[in-house]
Amino acid sequence: MSDSLLSLRRKIGSADDLESVVRTMKALSAAQMVQLEAAVQSLEQYAQTVELGLACWRLQIGAGMPPQRANPSAGVGALLFGSDQGLVGMFNESLLDFVQTTMGQQPARYIAVGERMQTQLLERGIEPVASLPVPASLAAVTSLVGELLAIVEAERAAGRIGSLHLFHNRPLGGTLYEHRQLQLLPLGEAWRQRPPRWPSGQIPQPIDGETATLRALIGEHLFIALFRAAAESMASENASRLAAMQRAEKNIDELLDTLKRSYHQLRQNDIDCELFDVLAGFEALHDVRG
């Protein structure tokens, strides 16, 4: 067997091993997507409960939510959810392009989730005020949200931000996702003007006073928004990685097909050469005996 055949066989073996890794990563990404999307769906019932609580508070005060405006002397905060790992295409770059288009020339204090997002900000000359890693699992999302809320509260208490905008990717099904922007603080005008509704005529009374109740409800509202954003961003990241793995698998299949054709062609050529040598030797021997 020639060195070329040995080389092709090694390349085919390496491609087979790589394809096995790609398939495993595809399976892991698909499984994580299902888990994260289920978590977002299960959060909806709790979100509806918090919405009912806010509706109850608004019905109690009678006049609806009072106007909320950001402190004009405070800055604008932007919270971005990116990725820690690669193999996600333009996941971070395209989201940051969307952020800068949305924010325009307005200066902002950026909070980044994900090492890749932090790197993208630094490459564009933006120093984030804080950066946190993407949770390794769904169970760690709650801890991340707690840290983010603490950072936001510290920034607001110091008067450095008066409004907060949330940016993340949201899955659309399959391997597709879209960019999403949400104003978290102060509560948006559309949310403030939403008519409060209660499922029955018996409206419960807020406990511990209206202000304490509202503060608690808004805290839960922020927690839900951040938890949902983190889970949706992680699901979108896996969707992007799944798309990358599908492209890689297709390329590997095409490479394997080319390598195997070359291997079989070269092997057939070697067999033909060996047969020709046998026939030539047989004819030479026949001539000598003749």
Q: Verify that 85 and 97 share a domain, yes or no.
A: yes
Please compute the mean of the pLDDT values over residues 98-117 and round it to a whole number.
Answer: 94
Q: Mean pLDDT, the chain, as a whole number?
A: 86
pLDDT of residue 75: 87
Asked whether 135 and 230 are in contact (CB, 8 A), the reply is yes
Same domain assignment for residues 142 and 226: yes
Confidence tier at 64 by pLDDT (50, 70, 90): very low
> CATH code at 83?
3.40.1380.10
Residue 169 near residue 177 (C-beta atoms within 8 A): yes
**One domain, residues 255 and 170:** no
pLDDT at res. 283: 75
Q: Which residues does residue 164 pair with via DSSP β-bridges, in sequence order?
A: 77, 185
Whether 225 has a pLDDT exceeding 90, the answer reads: yes
Q: How many domains does the chain have?
A: 2
Looking at the structure, tell me whether residues 100 and 114 fall in a common domain: yes
pLDDT tens string 158-184: 999 989 999 999 999 888 999 999 998
Lowest average pLDDT, out of 38-52, 115-129, 186-200, 202-216, goes to 186-200
- pLDDT of 26 above 70: yes
Residue 45 has a pLDDT of: 87
Rounded mean pLDDT, 125-141:
95
Q: Tell me: do 121 and 180 sit in the same domain.
A: yes
Q: Is the pLDDT of residue 229 over 90?
A: yes
Residue 71: which pLDDT band, with cuts at 50, 70 and 90? low
CATH (domain of 9)? 1.10.287.80
Please report the pLDDT score of residue 52 as a whole number. 84
On whether both 236 and 251 belong to a single domain, the answer is: no
Same-domain pairing of 146 and 93:
yes
Report the C-alpha gap between 106 and 76 in whole angstroms: 8
- Going by C-beta distance under 8 Å and a sequence separation of 6 or more, which residues neighbour residue 182? 165, 166, 225, 229
pLDDT at residue 1, rounded to an integer = 46
Question: In which band, very low, low, confident or very high, does the pLDDT at 189 lie, cut at 50, 70 and 90?
Answer: low
Which of 179, 217, 192 is closest to 69 using CA atoms? Answer: 192
Expressed as residue numbers, the domain containing 155 is 27-241
Distance CA 283, CA 279 (A): 6
Same domain, 114 and 17: no
- What is the reported pLDDT for 256? 93
pLDDT tier, 280 (very low <50, low <70, confident <90, very high otherwise): confident
Predicted confidence at residue 289, as pLDDT, reads 65
Q: In the prediction, which pLDDT does 2 show?
A: 52
Q: Are residues 225 and 120 in the same domain?
A: yes
Residues written for the chain = 290
| 51 and 20 share one domain | no
Which tokens hold the place of 175?
A: 């391997």
CA atoms within 13 A on the CB side of 225: 22
